[in-house]
Amino acid sequence: MTLHRGITMKRLSFLLLVLFMPLLPSLCLSEEGKAPFAAAIGPDGLQHVEVAGGSYYFKPERIIVRVNAPVELKLRNESSVTPHDFILKAPEAGIDISVTLRGEPTVLYFTMKKTGVYTFYCGRRFLFFKSHRNRGMEGTIEVVE
Average pLDDT value for residue range 55-72: 96
Q: What is the mean pLDDT of the chain?
A: 86
Rounded distance between C-alpha atoms, residue 134 and residue 66, angstroms: 28
Q: To 10 degrees, the CA torsion angle through 17, 22, 26, 30?
A: 70
| In contact, 44 and 20? CB cutoff 8 Å | no
**Percent of the chain scored above 90 by pLDDT?**
66
pLDDT at site 24: 47
The residue type of 29 is L
Query: pTM of the full predicted structure?
Result: 0.74
Map out the domains of the chain with their CATH numbers. 28-144 (2.60.40.420)
Rounded distance between C-alpha atoms, residue 28 and residue 128, angstroms: 24
